[in-house]
Structure 1
Amino acid sequence: MTTSVMNLECHNVPRSEHPHPHWQRLDWMNLNGQWSFSFDPGDEGISSQWQSNYEIAYDSLITVPFSWVSPLSGIGSDSKGIGWYRRTLTWKPSVKDSRLFLRFGAVDYICDVWINGVHVGSHQGGYGSFEFEVTETWQVERENTIVVRVEDFDHDYQARGKQGYGEIRGIWQPVWLESRPQTYVKDAKFVTSIDGKVEVTARIIAYEAGTAELTLQFAEGSILHSADLDLVAGENEIKSSFKVNNPQLWSPETPYLYEGELQLTGSCGRDVVSTYFGIREIQTVRFDDRGYRWITLNGKPIYLNGTLDQSYHKTGYFTYPSDEEMRDEIYLMKRLGLNFVRIHIKPEEPRKLYWADKLGILVMEDMPCFWGNPDEKARTSYESEALEIIERDYNHPSIFSWVMFNETWGLKTDAKEAGVTADISQQSSYLPETQEWVREKYRWAKQMDPTRIIEDNSPCNYDHVESDINTWHFYLNGYDQLRNHLHEVVDKTFPGSDFNCIGGNVQSDAPLMNSECGNVWGIEGGAGDSDLAWHYRYMMNEFRKHDKLCGFVFTELRDVTNEFNGYYRLDGVGKDFGYDAFVPGMTIADLHSPDFIVLDAPPCQTLFYGEKTIVPLLRSSFSDQYHGQQLQVKWELWYDDLGVRTVEACGNMQVDWDGYGVSSLSSLSLTMPAREAVAVLAVSLVNDANHTIMRNFITYDVRSGKADGVIGPQSGCIQIPVSSYTEQTFKQQWESIQGAKVSGGGEGHFIYEVTLPDPAEQTLIRDIEIIFEASSKRLLARNIEGGKVNDMGIGAMHGADAMVEYNPNTYYMTDEEVHPSRLNLLIDGKAIGSFDLPDDPADARGVLSWHYQPVQNKLDEAGSYGYLCKMRIPVQLTAELNFSRTFRLELQAEVGGVALYGRNAGRYPFDLLIRYS
């Protein structure tokens, strides 16, 4: 925004930037910082005159704007109830006889405010912004005392969203004072068209009747529009329009903002407001002869690669500590190749929405929900907040959709209150009269804002009533289950279908989009903290097979208190998905390309030596960037030959890249290598400038069907199953992945007895090499004390303990935190060398650990893998073994422990391997 709009009195103040960059005046004072604070558990404050008797000492200091529950507030108490705030200050507006307003970004939940002992206003609602005019009570030449009383009792009718991760109680967004002239612009709405037409509806509060001039100036003065006005005393609604020549359209790729100001000049002063708008159009459109719609941005289809954002911070909870962290949040999304975010069950802070506008990310913004019955009190409270939210956030070009309700929360009526004596189901407790109220709210929002997509309810119970977009939620684990589910949803989606609807309602031709997906809840007891990478790749691939599907929302951007399914840890630490090990240069962003090559095959298949297979390919295009061009599909079938990347076959295919949507390409015919291998089909889409547009892969477990399958160059070899040790000395030791992996925590050793070939079979052994796959071993609480399944139920939505280290499914995904170990090799008690094991990783590279999971809804160290360890036995020791032909192999772990991976676990398809020649 315009850098000249500054608050000169906010040094060393938390969140000192202007709270509403979409609507800011020059003359303001930030009131964030330390306030006196006290709880009022007995509700004695008003009767004891806390609002006016300043001799009464408050017992704490609180840092505004942080919820009194959060660590950054300095209080850190989860107490619901009543809290009092007090602050004394002086402030004089820069222009004499200005009107003064005390503004609140958001306060949860019921707020009363006094200035110098005079009550200036009340407000109810935890998420909307509000203000009180304090002109008459503010003393410009003397100290003023502001007192705020906040009441938050978590009433059933109260819109609370998903606050269980960390409550927002009391003041949780910035507070500031602002001066305005006697006649001022209350607000203005911009409606833009891609032809450059901009319609403006402004509300002007006039002190008295008279004439005035409204001037709009944007893009450093290149856009200038003015209108002469005849104002009546009080509120005036003014409509005007202007044309932007050669408009620069806003999109995630080119987030151009027209920044500037509104000026209102008249006999009652001059009001100047800095603001901005973006020119863009969101629609739903049928293309060609399709019987369904896609979502379009600026007249073109867009595939929405999105994530669910709880918008939660570990120290400020729902209030970010700094503007930079809100900015960086948008960056973290964009670096993944995402183009939109669903802000979950809460409207976002305007400051973060500014960064979405500025950096370019589309926003689906949810209304907060209540958790009680949808009675009259709950409905009235909800409607008031929804109005505040839409009015406040209307001008953000990033927002493309309003979601009125989520997963029918707050829409189900308790059986007793419904007057039903027998138990009623979830569906039937969503009563017909409530459904009609939801329809009413959908149509109300559509009338309020016809420029955006409105959704009645983002459903997990297949219970739409009426909506601009046909979305659904699913949390499934396992390729077959996911594939079948998507086919079912797509097949049942057509105009007139009653699928995904309730109450006799049927589908229109609205776009089909997923609005929550992932594997965090698709596993018995929850996925704990486990690898996302394997599931994520094939889920993205399966989505892109379906022409009807126009986007998804992955749960979620960051881990939160009891969900560990984020692209990032809660503190922003990145996770390693491991895709570049399959296709050089591949990142998760490749899976979010608008132009995509679908590999219509499972993520891994077991095939035999030399077996042939066919891989169908499809193209999916939701961008016209390469339409009319000829692109190349380059492919390789390769495998890792004990540390050496070996290409079995390769080729390329010319593709005419025309048209939107999904269509078939020629299939690939592959022949598997004649050896034990994890083979990889790596595919890249490349343009004529040799730029790689996207990458994808699938894998194969190639087997001989025999116990002594070929491993590496032809030579003598002995494979020893990792579970066939003769001795182990670890305090914690166990087997996993159906015995294909053995682990020992802390210090200890595994001992194997090795017998080399009889001299009659091989008279002279010149060289012996030991090869195996190993990682360190991070001990979890479940490894020490045993696993515990915690069925959190609805408590999961309120921050219930996930017991992550006890969860039987937990195996930490690879990230920036490492757990190293050292492994020593001994032959007959003689140390011959050691390996530094950097970590205990789990991600897509653990192909065999994923492929050999016995069931889909439980994880047994899924995705875990190790490092290739190779060591030659010294010559002198080899000479001795020519005579004994037996030796004792000891793998001795130091503090970090060790995991050993066999034929059906990890990354490499062999057990403990002894090669000799």
Structure 2
Amino acid sequence: MSTSVLNSESLNIPRSEHPHPHWQRMDWMNLNGQWSFCFDPNDEGIRSQWHTNHEIVYNSLITVPFSWASPLSGIGSDTKGIGWYRRTLTWQPFVQGSRLFLRFGAVDYSCDVWINGMHVGSHHGGYGSFEFEVTQSWQVECENTIIVRVEDFDQDYQARGKQGYGEIRGIWQPVWLESRPQTYVKDAKFVTFIDGQVEVTARITAHEAGTAELTLQFAESSIQHRVNLDLVAGENEIKSSLKVNDPQLWSPNTPYLYEGELQLSGSFGTDVVSTYFGIREIQTVRFEERGYRWITLNGKPIYLNGTLDQSYNKTGYFTYPSDEEMRDEIYLMKRLGLNFVRIHIKPEEPRKLYWADKLGILVMEDMPCFWGNPDEKARTSYEREAIEIIERDYNHPSIFSWVMFNETWGLKTDAKEAGVTADIRQQSSYLPETQEWVREKYHWAKQLDPTRIIEDNSPCNYDHVESDINTWHLYINGYDQLRSHLNEVMYKTFAGSDFNCIGGNVQSDAPLMNSECGNVWGIDGGAGDSDLAWHYRYMMNEFRRYDKLCGFVFTEFRDVTNEFNGYYRLDGSDKDFGYDAFVPGMTIADLHSPDFIVIDAPPCQTVDAGIKVNVPLLRSSFCDQHHGGVLQLKWELYYDNMGTRVVADCGHIPVKWDSFGVTPLPSLTVTMPGQDAVAVLAISLINEIDDVLTRNFITFDVRSDKEDGVFEGKGDFVSIPVGDFIEQTFKHQWGAIQGGKVNGAGEGSYVYDVTLPDSTEKKMIGEIEIMFEAGAKRVLARNVEGAKDNEMGISAMHGADAKVEYNPNTYYMTDDVRHPSRVNVLVDGKRIGSFDLPNDPADSRGVLSWHYQAVANKLDEAGSYGYLCKVNVPGQLASKLDRNRSFRLELQAEEGGMALYGRNAGRYPFDLLIRYN
């Protein structure tokens, strides 16, 4: 092993692993770590020859590879402009006479590099990797000085992407030195086929003409292939192929990589490159008599359960602090049952793509957009970066699709330039000539990489031009609204339809897929920080109703600075979706199962007690593992009766599982409870060895015809609406969910007058029990100062302050953070019980808080719920109440405040309930 590798590994430097594990030489030196740094606000560095003037004062230290805007850089300044880096070091390659290269993972935006005062190269573009040969300027036995000058002025023509979350200014991916022999393998592309055929195209840079041998060895040398070469001086393109017997196919479930190396040998020595490939095929195919295509992986349909990944880190911004954190990103996706990720408006770091290859997740990779007009300068810079990205990332088996543009960003010409009025700008400013340029880029990418799905533009304005995949964006809240929209999309999707197209273009039979969905933008003013779980379950269920639809992209993987609609918090901590409260063992992964049972019904229905309800079911299969067999559908209708789980109906149904796609199943007929209840229909699909393949549920708001409700159990009931208090002592008090919930901030009390039946109606009252649903009360800024609407313009896409605590839709989804409180129950001034309230949660368990939202596009403490509190009145006090038949009930909150849930809010279908017998 080279001494360079030993030195690199022994240094305590950030991101010490090799930056490009898909193309790795042994003799290299990692240059991450401390560099001298200074800003150049007056652009005097070139005039004053800072690249040769060793007396110039670099007044700061910066930690490479972190953007100078990020905290981890040690600079933490979002200064746009010019920055200078300097590093001095000695390094000698293992083989004397080797060629030396200085390599950069990525630098934003334009840079110039000097070695020992000699200019070695320039580069423009913020995302691509690049290198300069430094052989002539490097002194192998002396100290060398590397100077890097970077400009980042956020020009309109720059491909910036979505950097508003955290700017990638300056060097933001690793830097390293690498040695190669005089003749070396510049790069190689692998094209694989599921029959084991592997086509290899290698480019070799030869110092002089001569013969050489190229050897490919993979899978611990069990696969070997040799090619004898006659090289010319300069660039040589070599095409060859090899055959893998009994190939192990790469997929998210079986991410097998053929790891090995390329060896180029000759009179110049030997160049050894460690690399790998995965054998897999991505296609779009028509099945049976369908008039549309599905996406296939290795010849079989695949349902793509995906998420949008902003790839943003709080301290490193778009540079991950460590390799472990990149690995964890992929792990956290896979534990949700996801099989693909869309990297949003940027290419991913190669090291993270390696973990996608290694752990197994499909990747849809976006090109970064520019934000100015699509003029010649912007187009040229875009094209230059796009080819760098595709060429660099070509061999990652995880990548199955390139997305050339997103939501027409950078494709609309300013109204003044376009010669149109502002009121028609949104569509008409996407000019016909720009549409043709987009079509050209689609075909250019297809020619460059015919092995992958190419999308012209991931649209939110129904403006495809030409594409291998027919996607659209969906940000609609509300079950009825979502269902209606999906029905419309399906109805209008067919070959020849002009729906979802612009400029007279029409659809082909390309696969239909959603490429962004969620409720963050489906709410007036944005959803703030609110529950995802309720909307997410019925959205997943609705998607699986359609045979045409072959996947989705949920916005998004993690919360970011102004969007709080992630599966996880920004720090990676969990959110609690609450599904296991409905179906034991259920997680979000159940909604991503390739074999799925659709419950073709609303998430909650109001029904009369005791009636029979018909529930349609569908089977959705995108996996042939169980085809030809019979699975069992287990179902159960149950409800919670004052803390006791009661099964009202249940059964098993054998289900023939024999084909891909969506087909109807026999409906279920279930009998509702005879009392007020939140009833749950829970289903599980079970295989022949009793493994649960998927779980799902819907709910029912079961109502009796009695004003005080009907409930099982000994005794009668008096019900008091939570809003009917006679006094309250909170500093801040308000109602929610159409009066179904009352809130009090901090210490305070709600006081109620309770009247029991007189002695003519009930001769003696022996027992009295008080029941209610209560939660702690986290107080937001809007609860104290008032709500403030947030302008959801394009600035929101750049990380503008979401003002989440002022957002009228915010009610924090249940997560690891707790806001506890304590409530005391007093009867006629005597405390008879106390309850610790662990939190003020909001998730799918808040069935009634979701069901009784007034409108779909505004949220009012949606999904919030409390805890069941039950306390018996002591005997002596009960005796007094038996005589008086009335009392004063006080619910007293300590510092953490209190929320009380009535009949139409929370998770229990009753107000304050007094049971007596």
Instruction: Say yes or no: TM over 0.5.
Output: yes
CA distance in 2, matches of 1:7, 1:618: 61
CA distance in 2, matches of 1:867, 1:844: 14
Paired position in structure 1 for 2:771: 771
Paired position in structure 1 for 2:208: 208
CA distance in 2, matches of 1:134, 1:423: 55
Stretch moving more, 73-82 or 752-761: 752-761
Paired position in structure 2 for 1:685: 685
Question: Displacement of 1:603 after TM fit?
Answer: 0.4
Contact 1:415 1:423 in 2 (8 A): no
Question: Displacement of 1:10 after TM fit?
Answer: 4.9
Paired position in structure 2 for 1:586: 586
Question: Displacement of 1:85 after TM fit?
Answer: 0.5
Contact 1:330 1:355 in 2 (8 A): yes
Question: Displacement of 1:824 after TM fit?
Answer: 1.0
TM-superposition CA deviations, 1:191-240 (whole Å, max 9, x none):
00000001100000111110011001010110011111100111100011
Paired position in structure 1 for 2:128: 128
Paired position in structure 2 for 1:536: 536
Paired position in structure 2 for 1:36: 36
1:402 to 2:402 alignment: yes
CA distance in 2, matches of 1:74, 1:521: 35
Contact 1:7 1:27 in 2 (8 A): no
Question: Displacement of 1:705 after TM fit?
Answer: 3.1
Contact 2:8 2:30 in 1 (8 A): no
TM-superposition CA deviations, 1:83-104 (whole Å, max 9, x none):
0000111111111001000000
Contact 2:330 2:361 in 1 (8 A): yes
CA distance in 2, matches of 1:394, 1:302: 22
Paired position in structure 2 for 1:818: 818
CA distance in 1, matches of 2:785, 2:253: 50
Question: Displacement of 1:6 after TM fit?
Answer: 6.6
Question: Displacement of 1:7 after TM fit?
Answer: 6.0
Mapping for residues 132-143 of structure 1, pairs under 5 Å: 132-143=132-143
CA distance in 2, matches of 1:303, 1:860: 34
CA distance in 2, matches of 1:209, 1:714: 98
- Report the residue type matching 1:363 in the other structure: V
Paired position in structure 2 for 1:562: 562
CA distance in 2, matches of 1:791, 1:58: 42
CA distance in 1, matches of 2:876, 2:75: 69
Mapping for residues 326-725 of structure 1, pairs under 5 Å: 326-420=326-420, 424-725=424-725
CA distance in 2, matches of 1:229, 1:486: 57
CA distance in 1, matches of 2:114, 2:628: 66
1:100 to 2:136 alignment: no
Paired position in structure 1 for 2:883: 883
Paired position in structure 2 for 1:17: 17
Paired position in structure 2 for 1:50: 50
Question: Displacement of 1:714 after TM fit?
Answer: 4.4
CA distance in 2, matches of 1:596, 1:565: 24
CA distance in 2, matches of 1:810, 1:151: 40
Contact 2:8 2:16 in 1 (8 A): no
Question: Displacement of 1:708 after TM fit?
Answer: 2.3
What SS class does the counterpart of residue 425 from structure 2 fall into? coil
- Report the residue type matching 1:764 in the other structure: M
Question: Displacement of 1:874 after TM fit?
Answer: 1.2
1:238 to 2:238 alignment: yes
What SS class does the counterpart of residue 427 from structure 1 fall into? helix
Question: Displacement of 1:5 after TM fit?
Answer: 7.4
CA distance in 1, matches of 2:392, 2:574: 33
- Report the residue type matching 2:367 in the other structure: M
- Report the residue type matching 2:690 in the other structure: N
Paired position in structure 2 for 1:117: 117
1:297 to 2:304 alignment: no
Question: Displacement of 1:828 after TM fit?
Answer: 1.3
Contact 1:789 1:808 in 2 (8 A): yes
Question: Displacement of 1:611 after TM fit?
Answer: 1.8
Question: Displacement of 1:672 after TM fit?
Answer: 1.1
TM-superposition CA deviations, 1:5-52 (whole Å, max 9, x none):
776455210010000000001110000001111111100011111111
Stretch moving more, 605-614 or 856-865: 605-614
Contact 1:7 1:28 in 2 (8 A): no
CA distance in 1, matches of 2:865, 2:910: 13
CA distance in 2, matches of 1:334, 1:732: 43
Contact 1:718 1:915 in 2 (8 A): yes
Question: Displacement of 1:422 after TM fit?
Answer: 7.0
Question: Displacement of 1:171 after TM fit?
Answer: 0.4
* Distance change >3 Å, CA 915–CA 348, structure 1 → 2: same
**What TM-score, normalized by structure 2, do the two folds share?**
0.99
What SS class does the counterpart of residue 428 from structure 2 fall into? coil
- Report the residue type matching 1:327 in the other structure: R
Paired position in structure 2 for 1:854: 854
CA distance in 1, matches of 2:362, 2:775: 41
Mapping for residues 900-915 of structure 1, pairs under 5 Å: 900-915=900-915
Contact 1:5 1:25 in 2 (8 A): no
CA distance in 2, matches of 1:733, 1:422: 45
Contact 1:631 1:655 in 2 (8 A): yes
What SS class does the counterpart of residue 892 from structure 2 fall into? strand
CA distance in 2, matches of 1:913, 1:73: 59
What are structure 1's unaligned runs of at least 5 residues?
Answer: none
Mapping for residues 716-865 of structure 1, pairs under 5 Å: 716-865=716-865
TM-superposition CA deviations, 1:557-606 (whole Å, max 9, x none):
00000000000000001000000111111000000000000000000000
TM-superposition CA deviations, 1:298-334 (whole Å, max 9, x none):
0000000000000000000000000000000000000
CA distance in 1, matches of 2:420, 2:649: 67
Question: Displacement of 1:54 after TM fit?
Answer: 1.0
CA distance in 1, matches of 2:284, 2:366: 19
* Distance change >3 Å, CA 257–CA 703, structure 1 → 2: same
TM-superposition CA deviations, 1:337-390 (whole Å, max 9, x none):
000000000000000000000000000000000000000000000000000000
- Report the residue type matching 1:255 in the other structure: P
TM-superposition CA deviations, 1:232-255 (whole Å, max 9, x none):
111100011100000000000000
Mapping for residues 109-258 of structure 1, pairs under 5 Å: 109-258=109-258
Q: CA RMSD in A?
A: 1.1
* Distance change >3 Å, CA 9–CA 652, structure 1 → 2: closer
Paired position in structure 2 for 1:894: 894
CA distance in 1, matches of 2:611, 2:157: 63
CA distance in 2, matches of 1:702, 1:757: 26
Contact 2:499 2:507 in 1 (8 A): yes
TM-superposition CA deviations, 1:707-729 (whole Å, max 9, x none):
12212314111111111111111
Contact 1:217 1:223 in 2 (8 A): yes
**What TM-score, normalized by structure 1, do the two folds share?**
0.99
What SS class does the counterpart of residue 769 from structure 1 fall into? strand
TM-superposition CA deviations, 1:665-707 (whole Å, max 9, x none):
0001122111000001101111111111000000000001331
* Distance change >3 Å, CA 844–CA 757, structure 1 → 2: same
Question: Displacement of 1:423 after TM fit?
Answer: 5.3
CA distance in 1, matches of 2:608, 2:324: 54
What SS class does the counterpart of residue 580 from structure 1 fall into? helix
CA distance in 2, matches of 1:817, 1:506: 50
CA distance in 2, matches of 1:638, 1:724: 31
Percent of aligned pairs with the same amino acid: 81
Contact 1:7 1:18 in 2 (8 A): no
- Report the residue type matching 1:229 in the other structure: L
What SS class does the counterpart of residue 540 from structure 1 fall into? helix
What SS class does the counterpart of residue 666 from structure 2 fall into? coil
Question: Displacement of 1:59 after TM fit?
Answer: 1.1
Question: Displacement of 1:490 after TM fit?
Answer: 0.6
What are structure 2's unaligned runs of at least 5 residues?
Answer: none
